[in-house]
């Protein structure tokens, strides 16, 4: 047992002995030593090759072995000695992992090798064995040396290796390590360019070839060199040399012959080269010219069945999407179809810019290379693992036919004689609108009175009344002068008593949809391209009794601009821009009829603007079936399968993309199977809530008033479109006229609420409905809440936007929630008057205790709040907080905390209290800074659903939203208990002034926002500090002591002259 060990020790010490001999010989530089050195190195090599443990001995810490070996290498002029030492190094670095290589690099080994490579190339022919040894070592050392790229270039090694490759194309033994070294060189971008100039690509293309079982290793190395060398500036060179078609045919060849998928790595690398070349415009053109679309489409469809080939399919799909010829949207202009003449147009403002453009620059295809590559690469390509899908719209067996006779309700539009259901059912038309004229949707053309069987929603929906709704519609003024009424709004929506889970995404759905889109190019003869609905063209739709679906959006809150039948059961849909704007669309609401039941229809909304959407994370669209409503199920229902949201090939003009070039639109695609024949269905982005609906609800609510409830509805102002903006005041009547009761009444703090400044965020209206219903209810808690506060509520800050189907803006083409700093009385009347009311409250010592603006969030789940905190804003900007002893009242946190305890949809972890510069003109920030409301919030409700709490995994419905509105009230009631009486009296802004001073002395750098163009959510987490140094709050606080008369005047602001004062 002892013998082997003894031998090992003996040999190990022998190696050390040899090393110290070598060291001595190195020191006295005598030529006569050459033979001895050659012998010693030969012996060391032999020991290393035969005794594994000696390697450890040589490289162990403190042995100095590596230094001795390297200095011998540097000093020797003898070829055999050099070869011996290189072989020693190869032995040492082959095992032992990174540590030994690390030692080698740290002792300067890389440079010695590179210098040796260059110097030995100067006396050609270079010794092949030497070159082989050096390159084999470089392959090992290169990736471990962070400066390898620079060292190799500065030593002039790049071309030495390249030349070796060039002259040894048949010598695979030498070729392979050289190719590997080239690959390492060119991972440095400068080296890659330099190698490109020296002809690296041309040499690679001499080696690369069709499929062959023999040279797969060689191919792997060649393609990997090509891959790194074909990016950036070299792409142009490669395309000019005509290499793209070559790569395509090589790819095809490997695809055809690699039937057992053993060389997916090579195939993927070839695709990666193609991808690099198509990053430039010329490359994309060459790809199309070389029939690349069809080649990659065909190869990919053949790969679809094999899951391990997914990387090939994904890269192919990426290339095809990139090369898909860019089109502009099929529209005469991207400006809104509707135009509203403004009272005045601010010079240089968005509307002036929009309408002063020369006609040619409206929507141009911009094939700029900018951003393109990175944009495609960073796109969300995630696919979920689930293979199961469930179509939620499978036909029900107990389908009952619709009795057409009983529901014909209105006169037909003139000239329509066909018998589709819309006509049989009758369009719900309100004549005359606000201009008087007899209104009746209930008269048939022939004068016969027809009876409509209205589903009994009124019994289920206490605040709904179809007749009252029609009555309200009459006084609603829309820019297109709508006369039709959408059935869902007329019948009403009863919340579905059914769980609607967030959809799990089907694996590969996006890929499948993209392939279907690509087929439009490949099988262009299948494409119908038939325009079936077009607001830009009044003579459309042409009634041809064909099989096409019929569309309609000409009703309050409707939004659909154009529908194009692409294939038999597939439609491209285009949304209308917000009025007086050329973008901002996202909201949709339209009617579909003439459908075939049991057929899968694919709908694509092709001009979406946001880069991602909750439609990628389980959100479905909403559908309302009139047949179902008549049959007793008047519900908006989450529907659609194969839903996904992805970038498409329609290019977005930089004019509509905030000046950014090379942007594309996004497609929202969903598939629906209709259940009934002759149905009329409606689709919407979210549960619709029209302005007329609000008016109806308010009228119903006012009827709930009791002797204890003070309820008052005023017109805050008239909007640009000529509609009134309701302002509500709700509180409890003083119990008596006794001093105590009057005093209590006077001391009630004000709570100021608003909603729906953004028309597309209909969820905020449903939350507001829940709040209002709670406030008007007769429960003891509601009474107690009314006794605690005076509520000032503006339930719809943007009626015009809501009525006209806008998503974001008002008729001025501007986002009203960016106008709070200096609202214009003419252009932003609702904001102007809301702010004036707040200023009035402040001036009369009634600064609200709470301000909350209800919004909807399109990219996040749950409900949450944004508040305002100096302290957190300072932290976020990395100011030195240890020297910044802000004494901030943390009262702003109480309400969100209470909500998270009480409301199941509310998520505290999603809340943020940072004040971003991009948000400085929002209601939340202005009310906090200028009015001095410490508890100033934006409350964001998800459009999708919840990922926590009681409703985790479910999509949100109107009952959850309304519940949230009621819970908000309960939280306010609890807040009353948490708030000290002192604060209630003195919650004015002295604290904030101190904070302002503090901020000034901190000297936070003023970072001005470079983008004023806001397409992101209202409140996306975009951290940018606000600089207060330019602010001065010179408003006086008159500290008035209002008497009861003033209190009553407060409840009726329009009667007060101060209210209408300008800033």
| Contacting range for Zn ion; rule: CB under 5 A; set: 143-151, 164-172, 249-257, 853-861 | 853-861
Site string for Zn ion, 968-997 (x = CB under 5 A): ------------------------------
Q: How far is the CB of 1018 from Zn ion (least distance, A)?
A: 4
| Contacting range for Zn ion; rule: CB under 5 A; set: 101-109, 564-572, 849-857, 1029-1037 | 849-857
Q: Toward Zn ion, which CB reaches closer, 151 or 808?
A: 808
Looking only at residues 891 through 930 of this chain, which bind Zn ion when binding is defined by CB under 5 A?
none
Instruction: Quote the DSSP letter at residue 931.
Output: I
Q: Toward Zn ion, which CB reaches closer, 507 or 1013?
A: 1013
Q: How far is the CB of 808 from Zn ion (least distance, A)?
A: 8
Q: Toward Zn ion, which CB reaches closer, 761 or 787?
A: 761
Instruction: Give yes or no: 872 in active site.
Output: no
| Nearest C-alpha neighbor of 226 from the set 209, 215, 212 | 209
Beta-carbon count within 10 A of 264 CB = 17
Q: Does 860 bind Zn ion (CB under 5 A)?
A: no
| Nearest C-alpha neighbor of 315 from the set 261, 266, 362, 249 | 266
User: Count of alpha carbons within 13 Å of 135, Cβ hemisphere only?
Assistant: 29
Beta-carbon count within 10 A of 767 CB = 30
Q: Toward Zn ion, which CB reaches closer, 608 or 637?
A: 608
Q: Toward Zn ion, which CB reaches closer, 583 or 635?
A: 583
Phi, psi of 663 (to 5 degrees): -90, 155
Q: Toward Zn ion, which CB reaches closer, 765 or 873?
A: 765
| Contacting range for Zn ion; rule: CB under 5 A; set: 352-360, 559-567, 1015-1023, 1048-1056 | 1015-1023
- The angle that helices 52-59 and 65-75 make with each other, rounded to 10 degrees, is 90
Looking only at residues 160 through 219 of this chain, which bind Zn ion when binding is defined by CB under 5 A?
none
Q: Nearest-5° angle of CA 826, CA 830, CA 836?
A: 90
The count of residues interacting with Zn ion (CB under 5 A) is 4
Q: Which residue has the tokens 């080994």?
A: 109
- Chosen residue from 855, 893, 919, 929 binding Zn ion by CB under 5 A: 855
| Contacting range for Zn ion; rule: CB under 5 A; set: 75-83, 174-182, 563-571, 1016-1024 | 1016-1024
Dist. CA 175–CA 161, nearest whole Å? 10
- Chosen residue from 1018, 1024, 1025, 1027 binding Zn ion by CB under 5 A: 1018
Looking only at residues 747 through 766 of this chain, which bind Zn ion when binding is defined by CB under 5 A?
758, 761
Q: Toward Zn ion, which CB reaches closer, 321 or 855?
A: 855
DSSP 245-295: HHHHHHHHHHHHH-TT---HHHHHHHHHHHHHHTTSHHHHHHHHHTTHHHH
| Contacts by 144-151, CB closer than 8 A, 24 or more apart | 144/98, 144/101, 144/102, 144/105, 145/105, 145/110, 147/110, 148/110, 148/184, 148/185, 148/188, 149/185, 149/187, 149/188, 149/190, 149/191, 150/188, 151/110, 151/111, 151/114
Q: How far is the CB of 373 from Zn ion (least distance, A)?
A: 33
* Residues 591 and 553 sit within 8 Å (Cβ to Cβ): yes
Instruction: Quote the DSSP letter at residue 831.
Output: H
Kindly give the pairing relationship between strand 680-684 and strand 709-718.
Answer: unpaired
Q: How far is the CB of 937 from Zn ion (least distance, A)?
A: 13
Q: How far is the CB of 965 from Zn ion (least distance, A)?
A: 16
Q: How far is the CB of 502 from Zn ion (least distance, A)?
A: 22
| Contacting range for Zn ion; rule: CB under 5 A; set: 273-281, 613-621, 847-855, 984-992 | 847-855
Q: Toward Zn ion, which CB reaches closer, 1018 or 1027?
A: 1018
Q: How far is the CB of 758 from Zn ion (least distance, A)?
A: 4
Q: How far is the CB of 765 from Zn ion (least distance, A)?
A: 12
Dist. CA 603–CA 953, nearest whole Å? 25
Dist. CA 330–CA 313, nearest whole Å? 30
Residues 6+ apart with CB under 8 A from 6: none
Q: Toward Zn ion, which CB reaches closer, 142 or 856?
A: 856
Dist. CA 83–CA 81, nearest whole Å? 5
| Nearest C-alpha neighbor of 681 from the set 1058, 876, 981, 422 | 422
* Residues 258 and 301 sit within 8 Å (Cβ to Cβ): no
DSSP 601-655: EEEEEEEE-SS--GGGGT--EEEEEHHHHHTT---EEEE-EEEEEEEEEEEE-GG
User: Judging by beta carbons within 10 Å of its beta carbon (0-12, 13-18, 19+), is residue 279 exposed, middle or buried?
Assistant: buried
| Nearest C-alpha neighbor of 753 from the set 623, 937, 1000, 576 | 937
Q: Toward Zn ion, which CB reaches closer, 594 or 941?
A: 941
- H or E, element range at 895: helix 894-902
Q: How far is the CB of 754 from Zn ion (least distance, A)?
A: 11
Catalytic residue among 372, 591, 888, 940: 940
| Contacting range for Zn ion; rule: CB under 5 A; set: 269-277, 890-898, 989-997, 1011-1019 | 1011-1019
| Contacting range for Zn ion; rule: CB under 5 A; set: 13-21, 352-360, 661-669, 1013-1021 | 1013-1021
Q: How far is the CB of 834 from Zn ion (least distance, A)?
A: 15
- Catalytic residue list: 940
Write out the residues near Zn ion by the rule CB under 5 A: 758, 761, 855, 1018
């Amino acid at each position: 047992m002892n013998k082997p060990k003894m031998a090992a020790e003996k040999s190990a010490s022998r190696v050390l002995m040899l090393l110290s001999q070598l060291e001595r010989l190195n020191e006295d530089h005598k030529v006569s030593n050459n033979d001895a050195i050659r012998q010693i190195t030969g012996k060391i090599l032999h020991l290393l090759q035969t005794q594994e443990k000696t390697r450890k001995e040589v490289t162990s810490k403190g042995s100095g072995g590596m230094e001795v070996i390297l200095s011998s290498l540097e000093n020797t002029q003898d070829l055999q000695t050099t070869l011996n030492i290189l072989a020693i190094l190869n032995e040492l670095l082959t095992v032992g992992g990174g540590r030994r290589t690390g030692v080698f690099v740290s002792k300067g080994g890389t440079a010695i090798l590179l210098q040796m490579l260059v110097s030995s190339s100067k006396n050609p022919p270079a010794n092949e064995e030497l070159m082989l040894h050096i390159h084999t070592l470089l392959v090992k050392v290169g990736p471990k040396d962070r400066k390898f790229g620079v060292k190799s270039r500065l030593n002039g090694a790049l071309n030495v290796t390249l030349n070796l490759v060039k002259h040894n194309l048949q010598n695979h033994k030498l070729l392979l390590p050289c190719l590997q070294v080239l690959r390492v060189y060119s991972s440095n971008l400068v080296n890659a360019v330099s190698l490109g100039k020296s002809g690296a690509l041309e040499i690679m293309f001499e080696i690369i070839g069709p499929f062959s079982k023999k040279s797969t290793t060689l191919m792997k190395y060649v393609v990997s060199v090509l891959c790194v060398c074909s990016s950036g500036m070299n792409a142009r060179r490669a395309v000019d040399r005509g290499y793209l078609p070559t790569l395509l045919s090589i790819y095809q060849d490997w695809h055809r012959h690699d039937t057992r998928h053993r060389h997916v790595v090579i195939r993927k690398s070839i695709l990666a080269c193609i991808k690099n070349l198509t990053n430039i415009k010329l490359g994309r053109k060459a790809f199309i010219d070389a029939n690349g679309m069809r080649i990659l489409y065909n190869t990919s469809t053949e790969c679809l069945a094999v899951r391990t080939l997914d990387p090939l399919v994904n890269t192919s799909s990426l290339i095809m999407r990139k090369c898909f010829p860019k089109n502009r949207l099929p529209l005469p202009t991207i400006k809104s179809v509707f135009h509203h003449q403004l009272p005045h147009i601010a010079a240089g403002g968005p509307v002036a810019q929009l309408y002063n453009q020369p006609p040619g620059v409206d929507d141009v295809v911009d094939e700029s290379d900018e951003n393109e590559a990175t944009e495609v690469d960073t796109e969300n390509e995630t696919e979920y693992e689930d293979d199961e899908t469930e179509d939620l719209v499978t036909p029900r067996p107990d389908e009952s036919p619709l009795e057409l006779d009983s529901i014909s309700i209105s006169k037909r539009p003139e000239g329509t004689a066909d018998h589709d259901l819309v006509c049989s059912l009758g369009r719900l038309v309100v004549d005359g609108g606000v201009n008087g004229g007899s209104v009746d949707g209930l008269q048939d053309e022939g004068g016969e009175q027809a009876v409509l069987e209205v589903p009994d929603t009124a019994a289920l929906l206490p605040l709904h009344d179809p007749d009252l709704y029609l009555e309200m519609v009459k006084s609603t003024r829309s820019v297109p002068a709508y006369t039709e009424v959408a059935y869902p709004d007329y019948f009403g929506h009863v919340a579905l008593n059914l769980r609607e889970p967030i959809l799990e995404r089907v694996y590969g759905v996006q890929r499948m949809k993209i392939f279907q889109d690509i087929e439009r190019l490949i099988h262009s003869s299948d494409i119908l391209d038939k325009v079936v609905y077009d607001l830009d063209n009044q003579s459309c739709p042409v009634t041809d009794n064909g099989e096409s679906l019929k569309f309609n959006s000409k009703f309050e809150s409707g939004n659909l601009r154009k529908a194009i039948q692409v294939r038999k059961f597939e439609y491209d849909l285009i949304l209308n821009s917000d009025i007086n704007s050329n973008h901002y669309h996202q909201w949709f609401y339209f009617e579909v009829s003439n459908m075939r039941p049991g057929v899968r229809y694919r709908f694509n909304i092709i001009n979406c603007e946001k880069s991602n959407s909750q439609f990628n994370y389980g959100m479905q669209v909403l559908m309302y079936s009139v047949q179902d409503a008549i049959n007793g199920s008047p519900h908006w229902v989450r529907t659609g399968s194969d839903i996904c949201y992805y970038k498409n090939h329609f290019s977005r003009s930089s004019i509509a993309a905030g000046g950014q070039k090379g942007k594309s639109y996004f497609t929202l695609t969903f598939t629906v199977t209709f259940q009934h024949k002759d149905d009329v269905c409606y689709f919407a982005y979210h549960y619709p809530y029209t302005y007329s609906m609000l008016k109806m609800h308010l009228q119903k609510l006012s009827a709930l008033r009791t002797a204890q409830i003070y309820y008052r509805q005023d017109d805050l102002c008239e909007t640009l479109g000529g509609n009134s903006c309701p302002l509500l005041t709700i509180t409890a009547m003083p119990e008596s006229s006794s001093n105590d009761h009057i005093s209590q009444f006077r001391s009630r703090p004000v709570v100021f609420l608003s909603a729906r400044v953004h028309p597309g965020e209909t969820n905020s209206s449903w939350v507001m409905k829940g709040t209002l219903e709670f406030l008007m209810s007769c429960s003891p808690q509601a009474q107690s809440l009314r006794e605690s506060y005076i509520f000032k509520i503006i339930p719809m800050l943007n009626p015009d936007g809501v009525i006209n189907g806008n998503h974001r803006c008002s008729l001025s083409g501007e986002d009203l929630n960016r106008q709070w700093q200096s609202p214009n009385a003419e252009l932003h009347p609702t904001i102007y008057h809301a702010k004036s009311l707040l200023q009035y409250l402040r001036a009369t010592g009634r600064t609200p205790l709470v301000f909350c603006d209800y919004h909807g969030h399109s990219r996040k789940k749950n409900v949450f709040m944004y508040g305002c905190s100096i302290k957190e804003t300072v932290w976020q900007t990395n100011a030195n907080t240890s020297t910044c002893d802000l004494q901030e009242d943390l009262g702003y946190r109480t309400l969100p905390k209470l909500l998270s305890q009480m409301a199941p949809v509310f998520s505290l972890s999603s809340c943020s209290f940072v004040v971003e510069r991009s948000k400085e003109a929002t209601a939340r920030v202005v009310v906090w800074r200028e009015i001095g409301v410490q508890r100033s919030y934006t409350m964001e409700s998800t459009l999708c659903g919840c990922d926590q709490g009681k409703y985790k995994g479910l999509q949100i419905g109107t009952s959850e939203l309304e519940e949230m509105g009621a819970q908000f009230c309960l939280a306010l009631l609890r807040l009353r208990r948490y708030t000290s009486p002192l604060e209630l009296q003195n919650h004015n802004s002295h604290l904030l002034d101190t904070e302002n001073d503090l901020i000034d002395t901190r000297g936070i750098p003023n970072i001005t926002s470079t983008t004023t163009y806001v397409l992101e959510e209202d409140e996306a987490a975009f951290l940018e500090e606000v600089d207060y140094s330019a602010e001065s709050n010179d408003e006086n606080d008159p500290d008035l002591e209002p008497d009861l008369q003033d209190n009553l005047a407060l409840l009726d602001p329009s009667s007060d002259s101060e209210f209408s004062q300008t800033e």
